[in-house]
A = this chain, B = another copy of it.
Amino acid sequence: MTELRFSKQHDNLTNYMASEGIRLALFQDFEGMRDPTIRWMTRHPGDALLFVPSNIIDIPILIPWDVNMAQQYAKDSYCHIVPYTDFERNPYKAIKAVVENLNIPAGSRIEIPPTTSYPSFLRFVDALPDHDIICREDGIHFYTQQMRAIKDPEEIEIYREASRITNDVIAELEKQIRRGAFATEVDVALFIEREARIRGCEGTGFETLVAGPKRSFGIHAFPTFTGEAFGTPGLSIIDFGLKYRGYTTDVTLTVAKGPLNRTQERMLTLVEKAYNLAVSMAKEGLATRELALAVDAHFEKAKKKMPHALGHGIGMEAHEAPAIRSRSDNEWILQQGMVFTLEPGLYDPVHGGCRLENDFVLTEQGLEQLTKAQIIRIPE
């Protein structure tokens, strides 16, 4: 089943390349330039170059930083593995060697990642002056993002399992919170980390955020968690994701411990209404910008402003396609197979913050809620 999936990906890519006249595509996954497409294609977890030739007979070439790791993870995937040290760990030397090796004729179009910096783009051009170096946001890398945005049945099964584990951890968390088992933010974060790893997760999908009432005003608390008190009167936030077989969930719980003042009560009500509004609207065919604008309008009516996007796709990255935000350049449409978050929130420097975030998948049957985070109200 998995092999089929990879071979389907490869077919899709080479077809796309043929239609665009692209002879060779480069993917890069390095610090500061992450692209899990390489893992998605080869199962190698990261730090590598991947060259995909358009010719279906030419086998893709994986050039890992850690060749032992690649030989373990990518051994069953359709690619040659060549250590990066063979090219002095230099991407310009690597591309030159690959082009020579595959006899790619002068004048051919070679596509490099759209995240390539302008100075690096110039170096690729220097390395291959007789070839046509393409670097664009709407090319093959965007095409793979679109492919990755639509999860296939195997990926959705992974998400159901990842969500089941996430929900177990949420239930365990709520139990411990109601018992008053956590004194500090650190306690909460390390509890999540341990529960994740012992349940077979690769880890957390991003640094867990735990903010007690003093620090929950920050959209993303800084530092991410500290020795400060957690769950004391006021609003506390826990934002975490569990990474399972490469895919991450992403949920946010707010713990509202009484006594709350009227501003805090109003923030909770507004966020819950925004969340329900978003859930009720999310349907196949809807522009995600419309969804985000509706929630923005809901907050504006109450003279509030949400300082971040309504949600985002999740997958091998904590933030991936589709975007779910009101920015005018957002053209994403909800489609079957998309897995994404909805996460309205409000933040006040005095009264703290409140956010509710869950993960959803859009299937033939409509919107399916995968995770079960909620606002946990605890009386005085």
- Which residues of chain B are near A135, meaning CB under 8 Å? 117-119
| CB closest chain-B residue, reference A31 | B319
| CB closest chain-B residue, reference A88 | B327
User: Which of A67, A193, A222 counts the most B-chain CB atoms under 10 A from its CB?
Assistant: A222
| Contact mask for chain A residues 67-93; partner B; CB cutoff 8 A; 1 contact, 0 none | 111011100000000010100111000
Judged by a CB distance under 8 angstroms, whether A225 is at the interface is: yes
User: Contact at B207–A227, with CB atoms within 8 Å?
Assistant: no
User: Contact at B114–A347, with CB atoms within 8 Å?
Assistant: no
A190 and B89 CA atoms in complex are apart in Å by 33
- Which residues of chain B are near A71, meaning CB under 8 Å? 349
Q: Which of B34, B83, B90, B219 contacts A66 (CB 8 A)?
A: B219
User: Contact at B34–A307, with CB atoms within 8 Å?
Assistant: no
User: Contact at A349–B34, with CB atoms within 8 Å?
Assistant: no
Judged by a CB distance under 8 angstroms, whether A233 is at the interface is: no
Interface size range of chain A in the complex? 35 or more
- Which residues of chain B are near A68, meaning CB under 8 Å? 217-218, 347-349
Shortest C-beta distance, A8 to chain B (Å), equals: 25
User: Contact at B115–A69, with CB atoms within 8 Å?
Assistant: no
| CB closest chain-B residue, reference A39 | B222
Judged by a CB distance under 8 angstroms, whether A337 is at the interface is: no
Shortest C-beta distance, A27 to chain B (Å), equals: 15
Question: Interface of chain A, helix or strand or loop or mixed?
Answer: loop
User: Contact at B194–A193, with CB atoms within 8 Å?
Assistant: no
Interface residue ranges of A87-135 to B (CB < 8 Å): 88-90, 114-119, 121, 135
A202 and B215 CA atoms in complex are apart in Å by 14
Q: Which of B66, B190, B325 contacts A307 (CB 8 A)?
A: B66
Give this chain's copy count. Answer: 2
Judged by a CB distance under 8 angstroms, whether A379 is at the interface is: no
- Which residues of chain B are near A117, meaning CB under 8 Å? 114-118, 135
A307 and B87 CA atoms in complex are apart in Å by 12
Interface residue ranges of A322-359 to B (CB < 8 Å): 325, 327-329, 347-349
- Which residues of chain B are near A319, meaning CB under 8 Å? 31
User: Contact at A66–B225, with CB atoms within 8 Å?
Assistant: no
- Which residues of chain B are near A66, meaning CB under 8 Å? 218-220, 307, 347
A72 and B216 CA atoms in complex are apart in Å by 13
Shortest C-beta distance, A98 to chain B (Å), equals: 19
User: Contact at B198–A67, with CB atoms within 8 Å?
Assistant: no
Known contacts A88-B328, A186-B198; A307/B45 CB under 8 A: no
Judged by a CB distance under 8 angstroms, whether A285 is at the interface is: no
- Which residues of chain B are near A85, meaning CB under 8 Å? 305, 307
User: Contact at A203–B218, with CB atoms within 8 Å?
Assistant: no
Judged by a CB distance under 8 angstroms, whether A153 is at the interface is: no
A264 and B237 CA atoms in complex are apart in Å by 47
Judged by a CB distance under 8 angstroms, whether A224 is at the interface is: yes
Can you report 6 A-B residue pairs in the complex whose CB atoms are below 8 A from each other? A73-B222, A117-B117, A186-B197, A190-B193, A197-B225, A203-B225
Further pairs besides A66-B220, A223-B243: 19, Cβ < 8 Å: A32-B33, A32-B115, A45-B222, A46-B222, A65-B307, A66-B347, A68-B218, A89-B327, A90-B328, A116-B117, A118-B118, A119-B137, A186-B193, A189-B193, A197-B225, A202-B222, A202-B223, A203-B207, A203-B224
